[in-house]
Amino acid sequence: MSTLSLSRIDDTTYLELAAGHGLPLEQLPAWDRYEDALPGHAPFGRFLWRDSAGAPRALISLTRMEGRGFTYLWAKKGPVWLGERPAAAEELEFRTALARLVRGADRSLAFMRIHAWHPAPDLHELLQTVTYDRTVMVDVARPDAEIRASFSKSGRRQARKAEAEGLEFCDETERAREVFPELYAILTETATRDDFGAAPMSQYVTMLESLGPDHARLFVARAEGRALAWQIVLATDDLGEAYYAATSAEARQRHASMFMDLHTITWLRETGRKAYDLMGVHSERAPQLEGVTGYKQKFAAEFTEVAGAWDVPLRPRYYRGLKLALRAKRSAVGAVRTARGRLGRRGRG
């Protein structure tokens, strides 16, 4: 019989165990402030997994989320393993214990969404949203010259062009509610261009206000006072994450994204952070990210592997029903788009 154990722990114990392990913000108690502010979201709990010798082996923080007609748990960027990367068998044993625990605590849960290094039969591709298993990490704890030297040749060239554009880098965190209508227009332009759905404007403002300036910053690239590009950067003591971003057509011509990232890197270094995560590049599991990969790989010679997110059904039959329903919905939406396209072509004829 296994002597491994999984137990719920309080925030104080969790933070003590997390110290020195570089947990992402989404796995820290501070993230609860944001989840609490979103409708249908609520912190579920924090848990410790011990190995057979009783030593702490993994930490995980879960959020309960209400979808359209179903409820699930999501551990964004969790679990965090303390020490070496786990083997597939260890991940499976952890998931099995966690599934048993959360199913016993809440029978209404359809599935839990957690991150794993190794594909396995109990892991399913996500019902909705996009995950990634590779990213670009920039070591910012170095002088600027050394950081620039690590860029690709095209990255160094674009950095020089960006600095020659005369743009202004603005920290507008404290003015988020005031300036976001202007910034949201850029986001809707980006969403239309890149074919993704933007969240309501209130969600971005809520993130900034609930997490506060210690953990969330709003950076804007302006030209003659006009916003060209912006991004929300999340931060812990060690890490910065390029969480949300948007660019106008003019921003793309004037290299505003590069300009903003250069200044973000400087800000992270000056505030004592060690790394900057550009948040996902394409892979076999994330072909949707092909369009952003060319830009991000200008910052580093190699990609960094990370554990991607997977769904773990807690009510298998119900989960299969959800998959079928969502597949049917997507097929119907695709048919409507095709029909509209045909009607549009006839109208132009």
List pLDDT tens digits, range 292-303: 999 999 999 899
The 10s digit of each residue's pLDDT in 65-96 is 998 889 999 999 999 999 999 999 999 999 99
Please give the helix or strand (H or E) that residue 6 lies within, else none.
strand 5-9
Concatenated DSSP letters of 322-335: HHHHHHHHHHHHHH
Residue 189 reports pLDDT greater than 50: yes
Of the candidates 122, 75, 128, the residue with the CA atom closest to the CA atom of residue 316: 122
Q: What is the mean pLDDT of residues 260-284?
A: 97
Domains within the chain, CATH numbers bracketed: 5-129+308-314 (3.40.630.30), 137-277 (3.40.630.30)
Share of the chain above pLDDT 90, in %: 88
- CA dist 139 and 149 (Å) reads 12
Residue 349 reports pLDDT greater than 50: no
Alpha helices by DSSP H, listed for 60-131, are 88-105
Q: What's the confidence (pLDDT) of residue 338?
A: 45
Specify whether the CB–CB gap between 187 and 198 falls below 8 A.
yes
- CA dist 31 and 43 (Å) reads 9
Q: What is the mean pLDDT of residues 33-39?
A: 97
Of the candidates 242, 210, 187, the residue with the CA atom closest to the CA atom of residue 38: 210
Q: Is 106 helix (H, G, I), strand (E, B) or coil?
A: coil
The answer, as to whether pTM is greater than 0.85, is: yes
Specify whether the CB–CB gap between 180 and 204 falls below 8 A.
yes
The 10s digit of each residue's pLDDT in 94-123 is 999 999 999 999 999 999 999 999 999 999
- CA dist 189 and 248 (Å) reads 7
Q: Which residue has the tokens 């003659």?
A: 224
Residue 340 reports pLDDT greater than 50: no
Q: What is the mean pLDDT of residues 54-70?
A: 95
Q: What's the confidence (pLDDT) of residue 4?
A: 74
